[in-house]
Amino acid sequence: MRVESICIVGGGSAGWMTAALLSHEHPDLEIALIESENIKPIGVGESTLQHFNRFLKRLGLKDEDWMPYCNATYKASIRFKNFRDGKGEIFQYPFGDMDREGDIDRTDTWMMRFFELQCIYGEEMYPPEEFAQFVNRQTYLADGGVMAREMPGILDREESNWDLDNDTSYHLNADKFGEYLRDNIAVPNGVHHIKGDVHNVIKTPEGYIKSVITLDGGCITADMFIDCTGFRSLLLESHMDVEFKPFNDMLFNDSALVTHIDYKDKETQMVPYTDCVALSNGWVYNIPMWNNIGTGYVYSSKYINDCEAELEFREYLNDQDCPLMPIKIKHGRHDVAWTKNVVAIGLSYGFLEPLESTGLMTTHENLILLSDALSQRHGKVTKHDRDVFNHLTEKIIESMKNFVAQHYTLSSRDDTQYWRDCTETVEYGGYIPGMNEASLVALNDYRNLLDSIEMKTWETENMGEGTIYITAGMGIKPISKAFFDEKRLDVEKEAVKDSHKAYQKDKEIMLDWVSKQLSHYEYLKEHIYV
């Protein structure tokens, strides 16, 4: 079919991100967006991953343009507390490339050195939580609560891997981000904004949607319809009958209580990382934006009821008097994101609990794939394009599902039934009937991870940096002291000791450098919120 007109059903961040990118990259398309006035935004804050930068760059957006409107701040890392033992331990997943050892362009060489140092000096000097700092100096930004455009070179290199424009992500008000894209890109590009509610759908004999009817009797006809209606999945699920596949067998959390709290001290509280703190039956996120801190308790109603969850959350908040908004989480994905002439973007396709800041991921990643598909042959799309799109969108969410599940299955917590079931009962292997190729690829990626962490050296090409940070932070090692003592030659042990001296020196340099940098708050005041 040829796509010359598009109707987007649903506004919010997903709808206006869709309208902005498609109108920007496909100016010849006729685009309309129908937005209900009866759906109120949540507006408690959103945390993003590095992938988000791709979307911003494709729109040509600069930080100083959009960040002030959206109360946005920078994010250099994700910090996890109480996920390993539940005793106050903290480890990080920093963004950006791992640093290399001198001119040895092998990540695993420098990475493995950390565990060799553990064998010689013990976990007292090299605890699991220091792994991220050892391989990625971006953790110094997070730990120090600072931000900077340049960072000192490492070891015998004059240049650092650090790149502010690519190695950070953002905290933002997602609803205001949608508004910004609406007013500054989509509507100026000619997107027709219709306020109303879809009442009915008219289909062709072949099952394609021909038009949608609004409550006031309006009729919008288009070649393609994009579902941005969130968990309702009004078009994909309700009218195209695409099956929803829950992830409840691997991810237990199905509820959340969300709110925002005021700052007491922006200098110390406006940290450049998302804070995730494990509690008895789930975890709490803290997202520091410019005007306030978005926070919420993500939990499983199977193990704790709503009243108990509220009491635990308010205790965490030190009983701050703030209104809590309950949200039900719909974990899972639909069988396909694109069927006939209907494409689901964002929550209408699938959702994962935001432990790894995946809330917007199914929006901007699937949207980029769609825009690229429309670009291939100037708006002409076929079953091949749909199949490729569906394969890739499924692999993205299935891989992220396995990654998020890793945060639970690798934990050693057993203090509540929730944590015992997370670590003991979830089945991560085995073929599921009806599983297609994309799901199998994602599952095999996770099996490769499990295979890799059992080896005497980690196969980094099978793991990805995110999985490495979480695995190491959980205290899992690729080598034992006995293996190290048995297999490592004396000359190599001396090389390890040299690495110890180099790292300790670099640590001194970085701590001194951090002490001289602007706080994250002051950096934003000077460069963004001027």
What secondary structure letter does DSSP report for 299? Answer: E
Q: Is residue 183 part of a domain?
A: yes
Listed ranges 146-160, 299-313, 452-466; the one with the highest mean pLDDT: 299-313
Summarize pLDDT for 488-514 with one digit per residue, the tens: 667 678 888 888 998 999 899 999 999
| Single-letter amino acid, residue 417 | Q
More confident residue, 267 or 105: 267
CB atoms within 10 A of CB 485: 11
Q: Identify the three-state secondary structure at position 101.
A: strand
- Banded model confidence at residue 465, pLDDT cuts 50, 70, 90: confident
- Banded model confidence at residue 442, pLDDT cuts 50, 70, 90: low
pLDDT at 453: 55
Task: Report which of 24, 30, 435 is spatially closest to residue 222, judged by C-alpha positions.
Answer: 30
Residues present in the chain in total: 530
CATH code (residue 23):
3.50.50.60
Q: Is residue 308 part of a domain?
A: no
Choice among 82-96, 142-156, 231-245, 498-512 with the minimum mean pLDDT: 142-156
Region 166-171: what's the mean pLDDT? 92
Position 409 pLDDT exceeds 50: yes
Ranges of beta strands (E only) in 262-392 are 273-279, 282-288, 293-299, 325-328, 332-334, 338-339, 342-344, 350-351
pLDDT at 447: 53
Region 220-247: what's the mean pLDDT? 96
More confident residue, 366 or 494: 366
Q: Is residue 86 part of a domain?
A: no
pLDDT at 323: 92
Q: Is residue 280 part of a domain?
A: no
pLDDT at 101: 47
Region 130-139: what's the mean pLDDT? 92
pLDDT at 478: 81
Residue 82 token pair = 């109480």
Q: Is residue 256 part of a domain?
A: no
pLDDT at 217: 82
Summarize pLDDT for 182-197 with one digit per residue, the tens: 999 999 999 999 999 9
- Banded model confidence at residue 443, pLDDT cuts 50, 70, 90: low
Region 359-380: what's the mean pLDDT? 92
Summarize pLDDT for 76-132 with one digit per residue, the tens: 999 999 999 999 999 999 998 887 544 334 445 678 889 989 989 999 999 999 999
As for how many domains the chain has, the answer is 1
By the 8 A CB rule, do 469 and 142 touch?
no
pLDDT at 104: 38
Residue 503 token pair = 């790292």
| Mean pLDDT rounded to a whole number for the chain | 89
The C-alpha atoms of residue 269 and residue 289 are separated, in whole angstroms, by 10
Summarize pLDDT for 39-72 with one digit per residue, the tens: 776 655 688 988 899 999 999 999 999 999 999 9
Q: Is residue 324 part of a domain?
A: no
pLDDT at 50: 87
Task: Report which of 460, 493, 386, 482 is spatially closest to residue 98, judged by C-alpha positions.
Answer: 460
The C-alpha atoms of residue 493 and residue 484 are separated, in whole angstroms, by 9
More confident residue, 249 or 177: 177
Active-site residue set: 75
Side by side, the strands of the sheet bearing 73-75 are 46-47, 169-172, 73-75
Q: How much of the chain exceeds pLDDT 70, in percent? A: 88
Position 412 pLDDT exceeds 90: yes
Residue 317 token pair = 């908040």
More confident residue, 427 or 123: 123
Q: Is residue 100 part of a domain?
A: no
Q: Which residues pair with 44 in a beta bridge?
A: none
Region 298-318: what's the mean pLDDT? 96
The residue segments making up the domain with residue 13 are 5-74+175-246+337-393
Q: Is residue 152 part of a domain?
A: no
pLDDT at 51: 86
